[in-house]
Amino acid sequence: MQASTEVSVQEADFDLGAELAQLSAGRADVGGIASFVGLVRDVNDGSGVHAMTLEHYPGMTERSLAEIVEQAKSRWALLGVRVIHRIGRLMPSERIVFVGVASRHRGDAFAACEFIMDYLKTQAPFWKREETPEGARWVDARETDDSAAARWERPAEQGADGTWDEVEQRR
């Protein structure tokens, strides 16, 4: 059975339990599911946050998320991947993003989930605007997001047959 992949960019909230259940529905080969849920914080960079608005490029964003998922599927043995990213105006404590990964073994699920989230933060075309007591501000990508994604870069290594293969860096 092929790995199922679903990517959504939406205004509506999502049901975490339903999303997790869908990753293993009808599959007896799933040995583990790893997930991440991102929430809107009420403080960022020392300022209170009353609300956050997320904007995106329709079509381009979904393609970008699908490419990130395909990269993860090429690195790890995955049985299912679900990515949901919300857009629009969100309040503190509301859910922003869900990444769920199913695999036979927990290691692949954990690594792929973390990889997808790290790349999503740096590669997907989203723009974030926070409403603070000092006024509204656009939030730039952070150096920490870039360094998190950079750790997944794979160096090339020459094999015995003279060809070059990507080698996964181990943390």
Domain that holds residue 65: 4-150
Assigned domain for 159 exists: no
Assigned domain for 19 exists: yes
Assigned domain for 102 exists: yes
Q: Answer whether 89's CB lies under 8 Å from 53's CB.
A: yes
Q: How confident is the model at residue 170 (pLDDT cuts 50, 70, 90)?
A: very low
Q: What pLDDT is stored for residue 141 in this prediction?
A: 64
Q: Answer whether 82's CB lies under 8 Å from 98's CB.
A: yes
What CATH number should be reported for the domain holding residue 130? 3.90.1170.40
Assigned domain for 88 exists: yes
Q: Total structural domains in the chain?
A: 1
Where residue 59 falls (left for φ over 0; alpha for ψ -120 to 50; beta otherwise) is left
Q: Report the pLDDT averaged over residues 42-47.
A: 86
Q: What are the backbone dihedrals phi and psi of residue 6, each rounded to the nearest 5 degrees, phi first? A: -140, 130
Euclidean distance between the first and final Cα of the chain, in Å?
A: 31
**Residue 49 pLDDT exceeds 60:** yes
pTM score of the predicted model: 0.83
Q: Which pLDDT tens digit goes with each residue over 50-95?
A: 999 999 999 999 999 999 999 999 999 999 999 999 999 999 999 9
